[in-house]
Amino acid sequence: MTESLSLDGIAARLADIVGASHLSSAPADVDAYGGLSPFAVVWPGSPSEVAAVLKACTDLGVAVGIAGGGAGVAHHWPLTAERPRVVLDTLRMSNILDVDETSLTVLAQTGIQVRHLEEALRRQGLTLGPYPAELQLATLGGLLAAPPAIAHSPQTGLFHDGCLGLSVAHADGSSVQTRVAPRRATGPDLARVYLGSRGGLGVITTATMRVYRVPELVQPIAFAFTGLEAAHAGARELCASGVLPARLRVLGEEQALSELGDAGAPVRAACLAVLSGPGALVHVQHRLLDAILGRAGGMELPQPVAYRWWERSRSPGVQPDATPPAGARVRHSRLGEALASVRELTRRRPLNLWLDELDLHGANLWLGSRRAGEGKRSLAALLLDAGLEPFRPAFSPLMEELRQKLDPRGTLVVMES
């Protein structure tokens, strides 16, 4: 049964749970979460407080949007009914609870910013993995609840695949914790229900992540090609060969200029790779990479060019594009055709084009623009015109049914970005 309370009454009930100093209805605070237009923001300090807030909101008919450190509620899916809204911000839940240096895992609360988690791990000679620097500003919870397409490394896979276990609070106040094991065969992988669920099934409150030792050697390498197709063919062969770079990107001419600057020679297309691991292994991989990319028609660029790119790309502040890029997943066998379609459509409209997140099967094709007013939506429309399917979060009907089981009153707001 839904209780009926005034907004002040709701705020008082929530303040009883998190403490008055951890709830605010001040415009300066709630305006930061403008997309959802909440009347209050709460900052719970523990998984049990999260569960209690969710239960109270369900009882009171209040919708809850999840945010991590002020980010995450810019866009959301339509609410099922008009009702008061609060934002639950996990900002205070930023503790590292355990680092298991034997098993190479870290257990952390999900409000922690990835940059802070990474800094703490680095002090112990560990790292979350060779993921793009852009992820550093997100929270751990944000990356797990709404994994961005760029959270990938050919060497370590998707960032959220490194999640070995998690705790979740549901809208009814119940909580579950999945058992941490390297692999198991005791039913469906429940953790995967929540990964990518955008806060719609529950709030991920803690996560156990796989971590890695800081690599003994890191070797960035840059190759120039006469065309994007040849660079892609080289990168594809690399993925199939068993050489697994920590990072691998294929850039069109404009993007190469943007990321490499003056390479000392004209670069029509580039393939950038970062090898990492034990020195002896990296040296062998480097020789193989040279041979593979050379056979594809590539020419290695001077080492300083590669190192300069690598240093720049490791800074989370670097934003090479004026507007967020739009991307689509394309299988290798269709990439040639996709590139031709995109090129045809952009002949009179110079855009930056690159391939990333390459694996055995395909790559993400990205379009970016440095022109003012070139919005992400127009880039996405261009991908659609080229016969590609831009990334778009959507629940399958089955997942929607599960959502209704776990949250029948629709308390949890599904976040879009």
Partner 1 sequence: MPQTQRYRPSPALGSELLAILPAERISQGSADRLIYSRDMWPKTLLSVRDNKPSVCPPDVVVWPESAEEIAAIVKLCRRDHVPLVPWGGGSGVCGGAMATSGGIVLDLKRMNRLLLASSDDGLATFQAGVIGQTLEDQLNRRGLTLGHFPASIYCSTLGGWLAARSAGQLSSKYGKIEDMVLALEAVLGDGRIVRCSSAEQPDLVPLIVGSEGTLAIITEATLRVHRLAAHRVFRAYEVPRVSAGCEGFRRALQRGLRPAVMRLYDETDSLLARASGQGRAAGGQRRLLAALGEELEARHGERIGDLKRLLLGAALSRAGMLSRLAERMLPRLSGGCLAIVGFEGEPSLCQAEVELFHAELLGVGARDLGEGPGLSWYQHRYAVSYKQSPLYAAGGFADTMEVAATWERLLPLYKSVREAISSLAMVLAHFSHAYPEGCSIYFTFAAAAEGRAKSDLLYDEIWRRGLQAVIKEGGTISHHHGVGASKAAYMAEEHGPALAVYRQLKAVMDPDGILNPGKMGL
Instruction: Compute the least distance from the CB of residue 297 to partner 1, in Å.
Output: 18
Instruction: Compute the least distance from the CB of residue 239 to partner 1, in Å.
Output: 8
- Residue 250: which H helix or E strand, with range? strand 247-251
Q: Which is nearer to partner 1, 75 or 287 (CB)?
A: 287
DSSP secondary structure letter of residue 305: H
Q: 392 CB contacts (<8 Å, ≥6 apart)?
A: none
Q: Which is nearer to partner 1, 123 or 392 (CB)?
A: 392
Instruction: Compute the least distance from the CB of residue 200 to partner 1, in Å.
Output: 9
Instruction: Compute the least distance from the CB of residue 278 to partner 1, in Å.
Output: 5
Q: Is the dihedral of CA 190, 192, 193, 195 positive or negative?
A: positive
Instruction: Compute the least distance from the CB of residue 244 to partner 1, in Å.
Output: 9
Cα angle value 200/319/162 (rounded, 5°): 45
Q: Which is nearer to partner 1, 118 or 357 (CB)?
A: 357
How far is the CA of 263 from the CAs of 232, 271, 295, 299, 398, in angstroms?
A: 20, 13, 21, 12, 50
Instruction: Compute the least distance from the CB of residue 339 to partner 1, in Å.
Output: 15
C-alpha 120/C-alpha 101 separation (Å) is 13
C-alpha 10/C-alpha 84 separation (Å) is 9
Q: Which is nearer to partner 1, 196 or 227 (CB)?
A: 196
In this structure, are residues 61 and 409 in contact, taking their beta carbons and an 8 Å threshold?
yes
3-state secondary structure of 98: strand
Token couple for 40: 């209050």
Q: Which is nearer to partner 1, 6 or 396 (CB)?
A: 396
Q: Which is nearer to partner 1, 147 or 325 (CB)?
A: 147
Instruction: Compute the least distance from the CB of residue 36 to partner 1, in Å.
Output: 21
Cα angle value 294/300/301 (rounded, 5°): 160
C-alpha 218/C-alpha 309 separation (Å) is 13
Name the residue among 44, 85, 37 with its Cα closest to residue 61.
85
Q: Which is nearer to partner 1, 229 or 253 (CB)?
A: 229
Q: Which is nearer to partner 1, 60 or 238 (CB)?
A: 238
Instruction: Compute the least distance from the CB of residue 241 to partner 1, in Å.
Output: 6
- Residue 285: which H helix or E strand, with range? helix 279-295
C-alpha 35/C-alpha 32 separation (Å) is 9
